[in-house]
Structure formats: C-alpha cells, structure tokens
Amino acid sequence: MAAPRETMLYRPMKGFRDGLSILGAGCMRLPVDADGRIDEDQSTSMLHLAIDRGVNLVDTAWPYHGGESEPFVGRALQGGWRDRVALSTKLPSWLVNTRSDMDRYLDRQLERLRTDHVDLYLVHALDRATWRRMRDLGVGGFLESAIADGRIRHAGFSFHDDLDAFREILDGWSWEFCLVQVNFMDEQYQAGIEGVRYAAAKGLNVFAMEPLRGGVLAREVPGVREIWDRAPVRRDLADWALRWVWDHAEITTVLSGMSSLEQVVRNLDHAQTGLPGCLTAAERALYAEVRAIYESRIAVPCTRCAYCMPCPAGVDIPTCFETHNVAHMYDATAYAKSQYDFFLHSGPDGQPAPASACTECGTCEEKCPQHIAVRDRLKDVVAHFGR
C-alpha cells in the first residue's frame, strides 16, 4: 500500500494550489533493458509509486533516452495519473532554427506526451550564445503565445554557462522559474548559489538539477564516509547531498533522475524531512571537510578560467580537464567518460574537440595562469578516456 501523501513536503509556486513537491521525478536516467531501451514496466512502477507518495512534478525533455522519454511519460501517465502531476518538458533550443520551429516542436511534444498542455515549459540548455540566438528568433513572443492559447502554463529555462550569462538571461525576459545545476560540490559552478539567490530575489522559483552530480556524490570514496559518520544522525550519502540542497529556502524543488525502485524509495524517505534550514551549523561544517577530501583528489588544477581558449585545434581544454577530474575525484570513470563523449566530438569546425585533437602547439601553456603543462595533461586525458 502506498504511503500517505502527507509524507511529502511542498514549497510554494504561483499557479499551484498545493505547491510543488520538494522532490521531482526526473525521467532522463530511467532503468533500461539489455538493448538500452526504457524498461517500461519497471519505470512505470517507479513513477506511479513516486506519485502515490506525493511527488507532483514529472520532468522530461525531447532528447532524453534517445527521444523515447517523452513518449514513455505520455504512456505512463494515462489512466488518470496525468491529472495528479505538474508535467515539465523542454524546447530543444539547439534544434530550433526559425520561430515556426518552436511551435512545431511544442505541438509534437504535446502529441508525444498525450496531453493538451504542459504545466512547466523550459527553453532547454541556455548559455549566452544560445539565449541570444533564441531571443533574436522571437522565443519570448512564442512563449507568450503558447501561454495565451493554453498549450503551456508556466515558462522557464534550464541553464549551462557562467553567472554573468545567467544574469543576462534572467533579466532578458519575464521568466517564472529556472532550472540550474546545484549541489554541495557545485556551490560556485555555473550559476551557483549566488545565481540561485539572484533568481529568488527577482521572484523566480528555482529548480535544482544534479543534486547528486549524476550520482557520483552517492559513491563511496575513501575518507568521505568517516566524516559524515561523525554527525549525531547517521545518513546515507544521497541523503547528505539532497539535504544540502533542501536546506536552501530559495530552492523550490529538486529534480532527481532516479534509475531504480530502490532509489525512488530512498529519496522519498529522505524528502520527508527536507525543510529549509534542516541542517545544523555543526552539520554544515562537515560539508567543507568532505569538499576538501574530493578536492584533494583533483588530477589537474584547472579553474576553468578559459584563458587557454580558443585552442587552434578546437580542443575544449577546460571540459577535457573537468571530466578527467570528475573521474579521479569521485572514482567515477564510466560516468566521466560518458560526459566526455557527450560534450566533445571529432568533427566539423566549430564542434568542441577531445584531447586527442591536440597538435601540441603550446599556445595554451603560454596563457595558463596556473602554469599547467597542458600538453602533457591532455595526453593523460587521452590515456584515461581512450580518445
């Protein structure tokens, strides 16, 4: 029997009488079968259990699971489940070339999701350049039109760039909410906590993605467990990571891409006590010690200042080093390699290239304020990831 709805906590958002659950069901890392396709029976059971336990936000997007996430969600929410949740999906900004493309993608998404409206619609993966292109194509007018005709209820954006770009986008249109990567290791990454507070001060609801940094913060790393276990209350690694996000009153909800029924149950249990201010001062101090453990495992002291860029050969040096560091910091080579392969491609001019494209010209080393032996370290990346 499903646990009562009262076990879930909610935070306010305009337009939602009961607010939004502090845990949202992200549908980008669903369990898959031997062929890599969504395991529909298991994934549907997970989604229905989450909703029965009070989750009222389901998030998907056009590209998730090779384009199969939206159709799956549409099927899984049939039979009355759709009426119990706020449904969130995203306009694939990188595929949009004209104003009419925006309507075309939204209408196709409504078909895939088997619904007549999306409650929360985001412009997906905005950075400074993508925002300016979408702005000039008329995305603001598109969103206003889609709200007016009822196809979407609330408009927001997801973000991947620096804090200055975040402020530019936030100030560039009348957004209602935003989705940013934030966790206790990414306090100053991309928009960071400063961006979260900036958005909340302007009246936006802030959704948090990657609370477990792709799951790596729930991995056992030498020295980390011993620090957490000094706290009076014993918690698992995922609980510590989620609790840090929920501790911030400015954050409305956490989108977690759960991959098993066990993860759903565990995160639902954690969400029962995820109140703003749920951490004590002594507990907050432990996070600094845990960060120090992870940071001591960094392989390349790159700060992503990007003074080394652009590389004449097209190598995205900061991303090469960032993914290499993730592998070392969290004992997470498979996850880091998936990010490396996703973001870096050998191909046409303009695409960020992997470390193997380095021609050893040395231009980067002349510019690096950290005096990193970039050429040698890029060889380490190639050896680690095999490309």
CA distances (Å), origin 328, targets 221, 306, 336, 383: 10, 21, 9, 13
Mean pLDDT (the chain, rounded): 93
Quote the pLDDT of residue 304.
Answer: 82
pLDDT digits (tens, 9 = 90+) for 39-78: 999 999 999 999 999 999 999 999 999 999 999 999 999 9
pLDDT digits (tens, 9 = 90+) for 85-143: 999 999 999 999 999 999 999 999 999 999 999 999 999 999 999 999 999 999 999 99
Task: Assign a CATH topology to domain 5-288.
Answer: TIM Barrel (3.20.20)
Quote the pLDDT of residue 338.
Answer: 86
Give the pairing type, strands 86-91 and 57-59. parallel
Measure the CA angle with vertex 259, ends 226 and 63; round to 5°: 125
Quote the pLDDT of residue 136.
Answer: 98
- Taking residues 209-237, report their average pLDDT: 92
Q: Please indicate whether residue 213 or residue 132 has the higher confidence score (pLDDT).
A: 132
Per-residue pLDDT at 3 exceeds 70: no
Per-residue pLDDT at 5 exceeds 90: no
Quote the pLDDT of residue 352.
Answer: 86
Is pTM, for the whole model, over 0.85?
Answer: yes
Quote the pLDDT of residue 387.
Answer: 67
Q: Please indicate whether residue 346 or residue 302 has the higher confidence score (pLDDT).
A: 302
Quote the pLDDT of residue 4.
Answer: 46
- Taking residues 283-311, report their average pLDDT: 92
What is the percentage of the chain residues whose pLDDT exceeds 90?
83
Quote the pLDDT of residue 161.
Answer: 87
Contacts of 39 (CB under 8 A, 6+ apart): 30, 31, 32, 33
The domain spans of the chain are 5-288, 317-385
Indicate the residue type of 242.
Answer: L
Residue 172 contacts residue 131 (beta carbons within 8 Å) = yes
Token duo for residue 236: 């698992």
State the helix-helix crossing angle for 333-343 and 317-330, rounded to 10 degrees: 160
pLDDT digits (tens, 9 = 90+) for 264-275: 999 999 999 999
Nearest CA-CA partner of 327 in 271, 386, 253: 386
pLDDT band at 349 (very low <50, low <70, confident <90, very high): low
Quote the pLDDT of residue 163.
Answer: 94
Per-residue pLDDT at 1 exceeds 80: no
pLDDT band at 6 (very low <50, low <70, confident <90, very high): low
